[in-house]
Structure 1
Amino acid sequence: MAALAAIIGRLCIAALFVMSGIAKLADPAGTAQYITANSTLPATLATPVGIFEIVAGVLLGLGLMTRLVAIVLAGYIALATLLFHSQITDAAQGMLASRNLAILGGLLMVFAYGQVSWRVSTWKERARRHDAEVAAAKAEARADALGHDRTVVVNNQGGAAAPAYPPGRTVADRTDGDPRT
């Protein structure tokens, strides 16, 4: 369930950037005017910023280079907040800065836990791996219950094989249930 929540959260953040980028490309003159009015940056950044937001949002949504895209977008959001929303005493700017802070937090969570793939085949592979681990644990428990020692250590000098632990040991004798201990 956590993987599904991570995927949905990542898609929501990605959609935010894609929609923002489309809005910037739909009105490049308005974006350029906002950039020049609120910073010393050139107005020619309007179109590249819109393209960057769309491309980064799509990459994030698809789960491609997730951690890299998330940290780059986090840096972009932090820089945008410092450049355009630093007047937090103004109610509107404070609200936009708070919104960016929440987006920054979400992007850092994606960076930390963003390697969750969105493909169903990945979920199936994870389920198969889990089932195999459970089957191996059950087989080991059955072998231990029967008193069979299946672990063998081979001598470096080519000598005879010897059990890794005395055959009389039981699971209760071990601290963690690992036959190698």
Structure 2
Amino acid sequence: MLTRSEDAALLLGRVLIAALFLPSGYSKLMNFSAFAASLTAKGMPYPTIITGVLVAAEFLGPLALIIGLWPRWTALALIGFTAAMLWLTYGPSMTGLVFRPRQNVEFFQNLAIIGGLLMYFACGPGVWSRTRLR
């Protein structure tokens, strides 16, 4: 049983993580074709389908995160999105990034986001969520 302050911390953590994803998800949703074109330029197969999945994860995932719906599925979707974007950004050269931490702050920030989402996966949304109100 969590205390009231722990439930408040879980709610605040959910809102802060969602605040990271939601603006860029909305931007990608409004510029869907440009995002699909950038994936096409990177040589991705089926760029429109992949764009749809990524945009859905980045826009709908934070909304589910704020509300506290399907906590494990939401966490897994956002972890998958973050991992996919890491792969699209850095490609197979990710292994060399671990040994140059000062030169790749964004890479380690994304790993920290994945860590926070894994904690959400393990702890759940807390009492102040749609899942707990049912």
TM normalised by structure 2 equals 0.72
1:80 aligns to what? 85
Cα pair 1:35 1:43 within 8 Å, conserved: yes
From 90, 101, 105, the equivalent of 2:111 is 101
Judging by fraction of residues, say which structure has more helix: 2
Q: How do 1:31-180 and structure 2 match up within 5 A?
A: 31-44=35-48, 45-86=50-91, 87=93, 94-118=104-128
**Residue type at the aligned position of 1:68:** W
> CA 1:19 to 1:81, structure 2 compared with 1: closer, same or farther past 3 Å?
same
TM normalised by structure 1 equals 0.55
Matched pairs, number: 119
Q: CA RMSD in A?
A: 2.6
> CA 1:101 to 1:39, structure 2 compared with 1: closer, same or farther past 3 Å?
farther
How far apart are residue 47 of structure 1 and its match? 4.0
Considering Cα pairs closer than 8 Å and 6+ residues apart, tell me whether 1 or 2 has the greater RCO. 2
Cα pair 2:18 2:66 within 8 Å, conserved: yes
Q: Deviations over 1:113-165 (max 9, x none)?
A: 1230325xx7xxxxxxxxxxxxxxxxxxxxxxxxxxxxxxxxxxxxxxxxxxx
Task: Give ranges in structure 2 of 5+ residues lacking alignment.
Answer: none
Identity fraction in percent: 34
State the distance in 1 between where 2:7 and 2:121 align: 14
Larger radius of gyration: 1
Task: Give ranges in structure 1 of 5+ residues lacking alignment.
Answer: 123-181
